[in-house]
């Protein structure tokens, strides 16, 4: 906790990192409250359409314009924050739920079981990122849950490898031997003593990965294998304005901008954390300027 | 080359296993995950009779390991199934589309390297100053932007509204017919140069700039970030200080001594981003109607053409593993400190 305070302090002193922190926290808040602050809920949820208001350019009444069904794009983008948050957090949580136990067992047990588990992990890592998710999403069919599952099934190997590496080093620490000498059973050592001490970098990485998960989910939607309409997921909103973009640029432009800003926030924060945690760069900070 | 024979054999064996693993996973994706694969196979409007035939063709009534055997047999016999959309063998379709994608991706990587490395060095030399901050934010922005969105915006603004560059396709068909241009390798830039067809070369160049630029954003950011952090590290090494103390000109120190230790891992990281960029090409090609692997796979996705989707996935995954292998070999070859 003291360390967290230190990080926050360091982040606060750098305007770029501070921007990341501000973006991420506002995104989370927006994602939580979005459904309750909509000015045109039926537009946002895609339930109503009005022919007389179609394809209106941005104005005071419709800051982001209206789409081809006359729905207010601003409200749709606003509600999109909720779906992006659900997808991002869902993907990371499900991936952790798959990846952490596999990495923990592989790292702690080692031996043949460990090798077998890590070989399976390597097989999944042999796919280029996103590609496996595209294939999975295509066979699972469009849907919010299916999108989360498809992304998680291609995402977990990263966590299981990270946990594996952590656990492999933590399990050799003297205090683990001490626990064994005292006579604690293996399961208890594994879950209560090794796991908690291996989780910090994993949780940090997972938190920052929410941005990448949002980015990849938007790509799935754009390719037509992600979230189905009328859900106002940002990638889907961009793709819904695709064929109209030269006449009504605002339909695709603003949701895309929302993705950029959100993912940028997570990545700026990630950059800050990496820089602060990297001991080599930290040393250089105190050295001469190159 | 400092690569031992045992290492080569070990890696090649591993490669075979990785490809097999990819096949098993795709088998599971196509045959086990869908509740009734025969529906996917026979199409949405299949009759009872057609479904029955599909079950037989897919060997769905056999046990799972027998199904896997048939699946692998099909793959190694070179028939990757027939595309429902184009009605021709998937492998043939894929190989026809491959050169267009490779040309696009290679151009994108060239751009990424040529712009990313100098940006990274510039950033490192200004470590901690405003210029460094600006470059860093720009590179993070490059990695945070959905590639399909940039493609769409750039295409609209530059291609459609301003009309400065062609908004899609690889080459002007009329020019191809009127000048008698014939593809040889499938890499149009190369082919037009070989034939001395400057008009087509210029036209292909005009077509490739925008999609290649969009596709290069991610690897460019990666190269720049990698180059920056490695350069900062290298410039703090003692041998660089010694060179400075001896009075070796800064230019020489940078370009001859420092850069050499930076460039190899940067190339390596670019190689590793190849797979991601190929998937990015799916979207860029769809937007720019670029007749490559990505366009083919993208159209397959939009029309639920499963044999084609799976074929593209397998091909790209195999490519990805091969590239990783080549990157490791190159690494050993370029960097005398690495012994494999």
CB contact under 8 A, B279 and A134: yes
pLDDT higher than 70, residue A2? no
Residue among B125, B236, B310 whose CB faces A135 most closely = B310
Q: Kindly report the nearest CA distance between residue B51 and chain A, in angstroms.
A: 18
What is chain A's mean pLDDT, rounded? 86
First to last CA, chain B: 10
Q: What is the pLDDT of residue A46?
A: 82
pLDDT category of residue A103 using cuts at 50, 70 and 90: very high
Q: Give the lowest-confidence range in A255-269, B73-87, B174-188, B250-264.
A: B73-87
Q: Which of residues 207-236 of A touch B (CB under 8 A)?
A: 211, 215, 218-219, 222-225, 235
A46: helix, strand or coil = coil
Residue B322 at interface with chain A, using a CB cutoff of 8 Å = no
| Cβ–Cβ gap A139/B34 under 8 Å | yes
Tokens encoding A36 = 């309750």
Residue A1's pLDDT band, with cuts at 50, 70 and 90, is low
Give the residue from A75, A78, A87, A160 showing the smallest Cα distance to A122.
A160
CA distance A88 to A147: 11
Q: How far apart are CA B328 and CA B338, in angstroms?
A: 10
Alpha-carbon dihedral angle through residues A246, A250, A253, A258, given to the nearest 10 degrees: -170
Residue A185 has, within 13 A of its CA and on its CB side, a CA count of: 2
Report angle CA B154, B159, B160 to the nearest 5 degrees. 105
Q: Which of A139, A215, A260 is nearest residue B29 as measured by Cβ atoms?
A: A139
For B111-153, write each residue's pLDDT tens digit. 999 999 999 999 999 988 889 989 988 999 998 999 999 999 9
Cα–Cα distance measured from residue A169 to residue A173, given in angstroms and rounded to the nearest whole number: 7
Residues in A closer than 8 angstroms to B156, CB to CB, are 245-246, 249
Segment A100-108 shows an average pLDDT of 93
Q: With 80 as the cut, is the pLDDT of residue B190 above it?
A: yes
Which chain B residue's Cα is nearest to A279? B233
Rounded distance, CA B269 to CA B272, Å? 5
Residue A290: what pLDDT? Answer: 31
Nearest to B80 by CA among B159, B10, B3, B27: B27
Helices (H) and strands (E) in chain B, counts: 16, 0
Structure tokens at A221: 């939607």
Q: Give pLDDT, residue A233.
A: 94
Q: Quick check: A263 contacting B, CB < 8 Å?
A: yes
**b or e along B138-148 (b: 16 or more beta carbons within 10 Å of the residue's beta carbon)?**
ebbbbbbbbbb
Q: Give the model's confidence band at A279: pLDDT under 50 very low, under 70 low, under 90 confident, else very high.
A: low
- What ranges in A64-143 are assigned the alpha helix state H? 73-109, 111-125, 131-140
Q: What is the pLDDT of residue A283?
A: 45
Give the closest residue to B67 by CA, choosing from B30, B12, B15, B17.
B30
CB atoms within 10 A of CB B282: 28
Q: How far is A217 from chain B (nearest CA, A)?
A: 10
User: Above pLDDT 70, what percent of chain B?
Assistant: 96
A15-23 mean pLDDT: 89
Average pLDDT over residues A80-90: 95
In this structure, of A10-14, B4-8, B91-95, the range with the lowest mean pLDDT score is A10-14
Give the per-residue pLDDT at A169.
86
Q: Compute the distance between CA of residue B219 and CA of residue B228 in angstroms, rounded to an integer.
A: 14
Instruction: Quote the minimal CA–CA distance from B108 to chain A in Å.
Output: 18
From B22, B136, B146, residue closest to A235, measured CB to CB: B146
Task: Summarize pLDDT for B25-69 with one digit per residue, the tens.
Answer: 888 887 777 766 777 677 767 788 888 887 777 777 778 888 888
- Tell me the DSSP string of B57-109: HTTTTS-HHHHHHHHHHHHHTT---B-TTT-SBHHHHHHHHHHHHHHHHHHHH
Tokens at B14, concatenated: 């591993």
Q: For residue A137, what are its two tokens?
A: 């999403």
Cα(B274)–Cα(A108) distance, integer angstroms: 34
Token pair listed for A215: 């980015």
Q: Is A290 exposed, middle or buried (0-12, 13-18, 19+ CB in 10 A)?
A: middle
Kindly indicate the confidence band of residue B7, based on its pLDDT and cuts at 50, 70 and 90: confident
Max CA distance (Å), chain B: 85
Q: Are B160 and B288 in contact (CB under 8 A)?
A: no
**B 13-32: CB under 8 A from A:** 18, 21-22, 24-26, 29-30
Least confident of A158-172, A256-270, A271-285: A271-285
User: Any CB–CB contact under 8 A between B283 and chain A?
Assistant: yes
Mean pLDDT over residues A221-246, rounded? 91
Q: Which residue of B has its CA nearest to A256?
A: B149
A81 conformational bin, left if phi > 0, alpha if psi -120 to 50, beta if neither: alpha
**C-alpha Rg value of chain B to the nearest Å:** 24
Mutation choice for B interface testing from A17, A80, A126 by most B CBs within 10 A: A126
Query: Which of A139, A145, A152, A261 has the highest number of chain B CBs within 10 A, making it the mutation to test binding with B?
Result: A139
* A222 closest CB neighbour out of B22, B283, B317: B283
């Amino acid at each position: 906790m003291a360390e967290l305070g230190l990080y926050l302090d360091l982040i606060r002193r750098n305007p770029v990192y501070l921007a990341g922190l501000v973006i991420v926290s506002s995104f989370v808040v927006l994602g939580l409250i979005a459904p309750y602050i909509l000015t045109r809920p039926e537009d946002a949820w895609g339930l109503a359409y009005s022919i007389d208001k179609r394809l209106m350019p941005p104005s005071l009444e419709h800051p982001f314009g209206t789409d081809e069904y006359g729905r207010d794009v601003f409200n749709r983008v606003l509600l999109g924050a909720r779906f992006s948050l659900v997808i991002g957090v869902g993907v990371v949580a499900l991936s952790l739920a798959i990846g952490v136990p596999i990495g923990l067992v592989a790292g702690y047990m080692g031996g043949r079981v460990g090798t077998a588990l890590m070989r399976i992990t390597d097989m999944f890592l042999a796919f280029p990122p996103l590609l496996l998710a595209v294939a999975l999403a295509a066979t699972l069919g469009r849907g919010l849950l299916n999108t989360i599952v498809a992304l998680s099934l291609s995402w977990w190997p990263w966590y299981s490898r990270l946990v594996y590496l952590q656990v492999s080093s933590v399990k050799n620490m003297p205090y683990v031997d001490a626990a064994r000498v005292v006579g604690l059973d293996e399961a208890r050592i594994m879950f209560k003593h090794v796991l908690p001490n291996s989780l910090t970098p994993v949780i940090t990485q997972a938190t920052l990965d929410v941005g990448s998960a949002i980015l990849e989910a938007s790509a799935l939607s754009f390719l037509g294998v992600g979230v189905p309409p009328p859900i106002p997921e940002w990638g889907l909103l961009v793709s819904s304005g695709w064929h109209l973009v030269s006449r009504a640029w605002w339909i695709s432009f603003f949701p895309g901008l929302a993705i950029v800003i959100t993912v940028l926030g997570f990545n700026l924060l990630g950059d800050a954390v990496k820089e602060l945690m990297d001991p080599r760069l930290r040393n250089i900070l105190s050295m001469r300027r190159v | 080359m400092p690569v031992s024979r045992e290492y080569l054999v070990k890696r090649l064996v591993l490669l075979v296993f990785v490809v097999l693993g990819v096949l098993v996973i795709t088998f599971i994706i196509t045959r086990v995950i869908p509740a009734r694969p025969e529906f996917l196979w026979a199409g949405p409007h299949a009759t009872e009779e057609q479904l029955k035939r599909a079950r037989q063709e897919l060997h769905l009534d056999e046990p799972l390991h027998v199904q896997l055997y048939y699946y692998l047999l099909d793959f190694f016999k070179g028939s990757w199934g027939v595309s429902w959309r184009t009605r021709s063998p998937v492998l043939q379709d894929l190989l026809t589309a491959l050169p267009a994608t490779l040309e696009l991706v290679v151009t994108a990587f060239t751009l990424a390297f040529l712009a990313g490395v100098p940006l990274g060095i510039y950033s490192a030399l200004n470590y901690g100053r405003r210029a460094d901050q600006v470059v860093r934010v720009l590179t993070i922005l490059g990695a945070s932007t959905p590639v399909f969105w940039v493609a769409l915006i750039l295409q609209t603004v530059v291609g459609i509204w301003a009309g400065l560059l062609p908004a899609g396709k690889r080459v002007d068909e009329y020019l191809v017919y009127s000048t008698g241009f014939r593809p040889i390798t499938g890499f149009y830039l190369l082919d037009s140069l070989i034939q001395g067809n400057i008009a087509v070369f210029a036209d292909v160049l005009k077509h490739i700039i925008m999609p290649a630029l969009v596709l290069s954003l991610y690897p460019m950011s990666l190269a720049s970030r990698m180059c920056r952090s490695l350069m900062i590290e290298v410039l703090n090494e003692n041998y660089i200080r010694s060179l400075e103390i001896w009075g070796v000109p800064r230019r020489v120190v940078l370009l001859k001594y420092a850069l050499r230790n930076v460039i190899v891992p940067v190339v390596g990281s670019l190689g590793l981003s190849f797979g991601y960029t190929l998937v990015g090409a799916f979207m860029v090609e769809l937007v720019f109607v670029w007749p490559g692997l990505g366009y083919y796979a993208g159209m397959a996705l939009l029309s639920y053409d499963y044999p084609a989707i799976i074929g593209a996935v397998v091909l790209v995954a195999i490519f990805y593993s091969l590239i990783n292998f080549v990157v490791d070999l190159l690494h050993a070859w370029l960097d005398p400190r690495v012994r494999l």
